[in-house]
Amino acid sequence: MKIVAIIALLLLAVIGSTLLYAQMSLSRIEENIASQHPVEHLVVADVSQSISGTDSTKFLIFDTRPEDEFTVGHIANAIQVNPDISAAEFIKTFAADVQGKHLLFYCSVGKRSSILVERVEEDALEAGALSLANIRGGIFRWYNEGYSVVNAEGETDEIHPYDRFWGKLVQKRSSGK
């Protein structure tokens, strides 16, 4: 009888995780993050247009993923920053860089970067930043919509999936780079 109960519990766990994944989508995650974190959330098309426009020097992009994730692939010219950095340390490190700039933050899906924006926003604005925003959907949305990512060798078709579960949100590219 115990074996039947264990098998039933295992089946319920598998079915439950399958249902959770079926309900999970990047759009739903983006909505959830935006509702939980009251910061500006910019869509990737607007970000791409801004950073490739004539005023591109007015933007600084911060990748809030750990270095091992950043190394695999990131948005060009992004600055890797520890997602757990304090506001004081952020300002100490970047005060001269943020003056007169719009600061854009991203991570895999936008959670860690939204938290960092909340943490540093007041101090960054006081240090002369023009605005701070999270890139909605993070690098997963950026990548899934076909925008370029780079690593130390140049353009790449790879980004770090965070883990197997979250990596299911990444749409693999087929160009074979």
Q: Splitting the chain (177 residues) into consecutive groups of 10 residues, what average pLDDT does each group show?
A: 65 49 76 97 96 90 97 97 97 96 98 98 98 98 97 96 94 69
Give the per-residue pLDDT at 19: 37
Question: Where residue 158 sits, what CATH number does that domain have?
Answer: 3.40.250.10
Range of the domain at 57: 2-167
Give the per-residue pLDDT at 20: 46
Q: Is residue 174 part of a domain?
A: no
* pTM recorded for the entire structure: 0.85
Q: Is residue 176 part of a domain?
A: no
**How many domains is the chain partitioned into structurally?**
1
CA-wise closest residue to 23 among 173, 168, 170: 168
Distance CA 163, CA 169 (A): 10
Q: Is residue 109 part of a domain?
A: yes
Q: Is residue 175 part of a domain?
A: no
Q: Is residue 173 part of a domain?
A: no
Q: Is residue 85 part of a domain?
A: yes
Q: Locate 147 and state its tokens.
A: 């925008």
Give the per-residue pLDDT at 112: 97
Q: Is residue 55 part of a domain?
A: yes
Give the per-residue pLDDT at 116: 98
